[in-house]
Amino acid sequence: MSPDALRLNFRRISDSVGPASGVLPMVKADAYGVGVEGVVACLEPEGPWGFGVATVGEGMDLRSGGYEGRILVCGPIPLGEIDGALGADLELSVSSLCALHAMVEAASRTERGPRVHVDVDTGMGRSGFDWRKVNEWLPGLKKVGEEVTWVGAYTHLHSADADDSVAAEASIRAQWNRFDAVRQRLIAELGIPLVHVLNSAGAFRAPALGNAIVRPGIYLYGGRIGGGQPKPEPVVSLHARVVHVREAAAGTTLGYGSTYVASSDERWATLSIGYGDGLPRALGNRGYALVGDVRVPIIGRISMDVTVVDITGVPAVVEGDVATLIGTQGAETISLDEVAGLAGTISYEILTGLTPRLPRVWSDVEEGPSS
C-alpha cells in the first residue's frame, strides 16, 4: 500500500469539491480491503470530517483503535446494536420510523442521545426514506423533537460512475432534484445543518453539489470511477514469491481438472498466492503476473494456496524472486482494474476479497523482481 498515493487521491477529491466541503472517507470492509488502521493513520493528518463505516462493529473497532473523531455508520443497522453504537459515540443513519423509535428507547437506557443522519432514498432502493412519501414520514421525525440530535441528511448516487458521462450526469441531476425538495423541508422543519450526496465519481462530475460533506470510497484506494474521470494514483500492489521452478515436458498436465497441458517443453514457476489469499480463481488460464520485469500468463486453475505461471521466456527467474499480480515491474504494469476486468468483476470486489492471510505493508518503495 502506498501512503503517498492514498494521500494524493484524498487531496484530489478535496480540491475538486473545494474547501467548503469536508471529506468523509469510507473505510468500510477494512477500508475496501486495504487495511483500516493504516488508512486512518495515513489520512487523519489530512483533516477529514470523519470516517464512514457500514456496521456498528466497524465503528467500534475504529474507536478501540484509538480514533476519537466522528464516525458515521452509513445505512441501516440491526436494532439490537443501537445501544453499543451509542456507547461508542457513533453517528447513525435512520431509514425508518421503527429504527428511529428504537434509537430513542436506547438513548433512555444508555443516557446518550443519538446523533442522526436522515437517509433519503432517491433511486438506489436499498435503504432510506422514500423521497416521494416525505409527507408520510417527516411528521414522525418531527414528533421525536429534541430526543435526538439531527446532524445531517444524505442520499446515495446509483450511476455516477457510469462510463457514459452524459447518462451519469443526467442521473446525478435527477437524484439531486429529488433530494433537494426533501432537503429543503428537512432544513426548514428539523433544522438539519448539513447534507451529503457525492461519492467518488460525483465529486468530480458534480462538484458544485458537494455541500457540507463528500463520501469518497473506491477512488481513494486506486479504483477507476467511470469514463472521462481523473485516474487515481494506484494505492495497492500485490506480490508473491516464486517458491518452485520446474521444467515441464510437452504433454505435462497442470492443476485441478488438468485444464492446462504443456504444448511443448516449458518452464513453470509456482507462486505463493492463491484464491485463499483473494486472488480470483477466475484468473486461471486468463490472467497474468509480472516476473523478472516480464508479463507472463497464469496457467491452469488457481489453487487455494498457489498459482502457476509460464516462465519459458524468462530463463533468469529463480526461486525467491518476486512476482507482481497487481502493480509494476520495469516497463510492465498490471492495474487493479485490468485484474477486475479479466476476472469478470469490479475493483471493489478484488480489493475487499484480499484476505487477512496477506500482510499489508505500507511503503512507497515498490517490490522489485528479487527484493
Half-sphere exposure (Cβ direction) of 302: Cα atoms closer than 13 Å: 25
Nearest to 288 by CA among 335, 348, 330: 335
**Separation of alpha carbons 133 and 128, rounded Å:** 11
In the chain, the amino acid numbered 223 is G
Nearest to 157 by CA among 167, 149, 148: 167
The residues facing 129 across adjacent strands are: 120
Nearest to 79 by CA among 56, 60, 108, 110: 56
Active-site option among 28, 260, 275, 288: 28
Looking at 9-114, which runs of residues are DSSP E strands?
22-23, 51-53, 71-73, 91-94
* Backbone CA torsion sign across 69, 70, 74, 75: positive
Q: CA-based diameter of the chain, in Å?
A: 78
160 burial via Cβ count (<10 Å: 0-12, 13-18, 19+): buried
Q: Give exposure, 1-28, as e/b (b: 16+ Cβ within 10 Å).
A: bbbebbbebbebbbebbeeebbbbbbbb
Respond yes or no: is residue 28 known to be catalytic: yes
Which residues, in sequence order, are CB contacts of 130 under 8 Å at separation 6+? 121, 137
Distances (CA, A) of 168 to 116, 141, 224, 341: 29, 32, 14, 21
- Angle at CA of residue 185, ends 184 and 186, nearest 5°: 95
Nearest to 238 by CA among 176, 184, 290: 290
**Separation of alpha carbons 191 and 169, rounded Å:** 29
**Separation of alpha carbons 128 and 121, rounded Å:** 5
Respond yes or no: is residue 256 known to be catalytic: yes
Active-site option among 142, 256, 275, 348: 256
Which helix H or strand E contains 48, and what residues bound it?
A: none
Q: Which residues are catalytic?
A: 28, 256
